[in-house]
Amino acid sequence: MTFPENLKYTKTHEWIRFEDETTAYIGITDYAQDQLGDLVFANLPEEGDEVTLGEAFADVESVKAVSDVMSPVSGTVAEINETLADEPQLMNQAPYDAWFIKVTGITESEELMTAEEYQAFIAE
C-alpha cells in the first residue's frame, strides 16, 4: 500500500490534494479500496453541487455494499471524474489517480493528516 507525501488524509479514508488554498481534488485512499474490495460503481455529485464538510458527497459500491464517501471540505464541485463511470476498477487499480471530484471555493476543511500520520492511524 502506498500513501503519497503530497496528499492529506482523513479518518474516513479519503485523500485530498490541494491545488491552492481553495481548490482541491478528492478521492479514496489505497487503504479504503483495499478494505472495500472490488469496486463496481461510483455515484458522483454533479458539477455545481455544494459539498459540506463531514457530509457524504458520493458513494461507491463493492461486493453488494454501498459505502458513503465523506467530504473533508465545504465548497463547490467544479469537475467530476467521468472516467469512473466507465472504469470503476480504476478506484482499485490507481486510487490516487482516480479522483472523484475537484472542489473550488473551499471555505472550510477538517483537520487533515499527513501521510505519516495517516499510516499510524490505520495501524492502530
Partner 1 sequence: MILRLNICREKRTSASFDPYRNLAIEKYLTYHVNEEECTLFLWQNRRCVVIGKNQNAWKECNISKLTEDGGFLVRRLSGGGAVYHDTGNLNYSFCTRKTDYDTGKQTEVITRAVRRLGIPAQISGRNDILAEGRKFSGTAYYNSGDFCCHHGTIMVNVNRDEMSRYLNVDKEKLKGKGVASVRSRVVNLTEFNRDITVPLLEQSLIEAFADVYGITPGKTLDSAFFSEDALSEINNDAAWLSGNEWLYERPIPFTHRLEGRTASGGVELLLHVNRGKIVDCQCFTDAMDPCVSAVIVSLLKGTEYNKDAVARAVSRLPGMISDNSIVEHIRELLEG
Where on the chain is the footprint of partner 1 (CB under 8 A)?
12, 40-41, 43, 56, 59, 61-68, 70, 85-86
In the complex, least distance from residue 70 CB atom to partner 1, rounded to whole angstroms: 7
Phi, psi of 119 (to 5 degrees): -60, -40
Between 70 and 106, whose beta carbon lies closer to partner 1?
Answer: 70
Between 50 and 61, whose beta carbon lies closer to partner 1?
Answer: 61
In the complex, least distance from residue 22 CB atom to partner 1, rounded to whole angstroms: 25
Between 2 and 64, whose beta carbon lies closer to partner 1?
Answer: 64
Q: CB within 8 A of 15, min separation 6: which ones?
A: 4, 7, 8, 9, 26, 27, 28, 29, 95, 96
CA nearest to 20, candidates 112, 118, 105, 122? 105
Give the 3-state secondary structure of residue 80: strand
Q: Residue 46 gets which letter from DSSP? A: -
Between 20 and 64, whose beta carbon lies closer to partner 1?
Answer: 64
In the complex, least distance from residue 56 CB atom to partner 1, rounded to whole angstroms: 6
- Grid cell for residue 109: 476543511
Q: How many other CB atoms sit within 10 Å of the CB of residue 4?
A: 12
In the complex, least distance from residue 116 CB atom to partner 1, rounded to whole angstroms: 24
